[in-house]
Amino acid sequence: MIKVEKLTKKFGKNEVLRGISTEIAKGEVVSIIGPSGSGKSTFLRCLNVLETPTTGNIIVENQNLTDSKTPIHKMRQQIGMVFQHFHLFPHLTVLENLTYAPMKAKGVKKQVAVENARELLKKVGLSEKESAYPSSLSGGQKQRVAIARALAMEPELMLFDEPTSALDPEMVKEVLDVMKDLAKSGMTMVVVTHEMGFAREVADRILFLDHGVLLEEGKPAEFFTQPKTARAKEFLDKIL
């Protein structure tokens, strides 16, 4: 579904990604972990071209996103993204946050968009908040709305950029539960996370990044018990 070929990204002289290649299959849940500054978030943001790669190819459903002729905003409609800091639209109600993009970017009829949105709010357990503004929600509620907003576009693939890192500890579970349900439903997911429990339990594959290099990848069971590289071992010793 996604093929990443020799991806590099430089910010000025700072080389953040140094030639990453990997493939993600449909329905796969991939967790990206690694120390801070390893390039995890940049890698994820390259997948929907919020960061333009310096060199390399990102091929989603046979379309090369780094090709300037590819209609990027059409491709992004198939790739949902959830941010660490939610980025809900503060001047719109919860329901409007969900219906805005389907109506304005995809031309979905209002009635259909609203129906869809209500369904999704029910799924994330926030039906009663549909006419609230984001500022009145807790962090966990905001993130659940943000997930529902991304799903409202009916994407093929969901990207999560440290979705629980800005949350109070007691709110982490409600967000992870929504993500687990989503994974079970067969959604293709790429998740940058510090939640090792989630990575271990839900992910099909772990990518370990360090200094912009994909140092190690493998099944969670193997990666967490017998890491192949010294760097991964050291990282796991520090956090587990």
Partner 1 sequence: MNLDFSQITPYIPFMLEGIWVTLKFVVVALLFGSILGTLLALFKIGTVKPLNWIAIVYTSIFRGTPLILQLMIFYFAIPQLTGYDISPFLAAILAFGLNSAAYISEIIRAGIQAVDKGQTEAALALGVPYRQMMIDIILPQAFKNILPALMNEVITLTKESALVSTISVLDLMRRAQVVGSDLYRSFEPLLFVGFIYWAMVFVLSAIGKVIERRLKVSDQS
Binding site for partner 1 (CB under 8 A): 48, 50, 73-81, 83, 85, 87-92, 100-101, 104-106, 132-136, 149-150, 153
Shortest Å distance, C-beta 159 to partner 1: 8
Decide whether 132 or 236 has the Cβ nearer to partner 1.
Answer: 132
Decide whether 142 or 205 has the Cβ nearer to partner 1.
Answer: 142
Written as six digits, the tokens of 219 are 């099944």
DSSP state of 69: T
Shortest Å distance, C-beta 90 to partner 1: 6
Decide whether 32 or 158 has the Cβ nearer to partner 1.
Answer: 158
Cα 190 from chain centroid?
5
What are the C-alpha distances in Å from 103 to residues 97, 112, 189, 240?
A: 11, 9, 24, 45
CB contact burial 119-150 (16+ within 10 A = b; e otherwise): ebbebbebeebbeebbeebebbbbbbbbbbbb
Decide whether 161 or 210 has the Cβ nearer to partner 1.
Answer: 161
Shortest Å distance, C-beta 215 to partner 1: 27
Query: Where is 30: in which H helix or E strand?
Result: strand 29-33
Shortest Å distance, C-beta 89 to partner 1: 6
3-state secondary structure of 90: coil
Contact partners, residue 203, CB within 8 Å, separation at least 6: 29, 30, 31, 191, 220
Decide whether 89 or 224 has the Cβ nearer to partner 1.
Answer: 89
Shortest Å distance, C-beta 120 to partner 1: 14
